[in-house]
Amino acid sequence: MDKNLASMIFALGVLMVFFILYEKSKITSKEISIIVVLSAVAGVGRIPFAALPNVQPTTFIVIIAGFVFGPLAGFAVGIFAALISNIFLGQGPWTIWQMLAWGICGMSCGMFSKLHKGAGMKSLIVFSFIWGFLFGWIMNLWYWVSFVYPLTFRSWLGTNLASVWFDGMHAVGNVVFMAVFGGSFVKILKHFKRKLSVTYINA
């Protein structure tokens, strides 16, 4: 089997597993509405920054979504943000891997917030910085498997070293967005989350 095709099948398989989990989760129509809005904001927000190498608010918004609404919501915002933004910036085989990378990003932050309930902005800033590089490494995996020969540790290391500048720009951009807007976004989204979780009982 062609290695490019094999990598696409792998990425699609992982996405399908999370789609199944998402479908089985108990999610309300109101929560779906918030996820759709966040996905649109994260996707469209990438477009004005297209001229800047790897600097965009998408990763920041995906991280915030996972942090506030949980792993599955963060995953959903991540995959749809990639799909939406590439409607304008161009679809291709990389779209599947961007969906996977941003989906895992949102999911991991949701898991992080569950494990560390007292996590604050300092933790989110560090998390954002780390994901600037992790996102790049996931995308490098697609490039390495699809276009690099031979597939050795040396060629994998060289692929990652070649993207250090771009991954660093992504990481720094994430930190700036999180430091400037993170507190406000978390506060607003937690307010919406509380409204969604209110239960009215008739007297």
Residue whose entry in the numeric block shows the structure tokens 């509380």: 194
pLDDT of residue 200: 47
* Domains of the chain, earliest start first: 27-196 (1.10.1760.20)
C-alpha separations of 171 from 45, 137, 148, 167, 202 in Å:
17, 12, 25, 6, 50
Percent of the chain with pLDDT over 70: 91
For 10-41, how does the pLDDT look when each residue is reduced to its tens digit (9 = 90+)? 777 777 777 777 667 667 777 788 888 999 99
Judged against a pLDDT cut of 80, whether residue 169 lies above it is answered with yes
pLDDT of residue 9: 76
Residue whose entry in the numeric block shows the structure tokens 């918004």: 61
For 81-110, how does the pLDDT look when each residue is reduced to its tens digit (9 = 90+)? 998 999 888 888 888 899 999 999 999 999
Within 10 angstroms of residue 76's Cβ, the number of other Cβ atoms is: 28
Tokens encoding 21: 């989990």
pLDDT of residue 160: 94
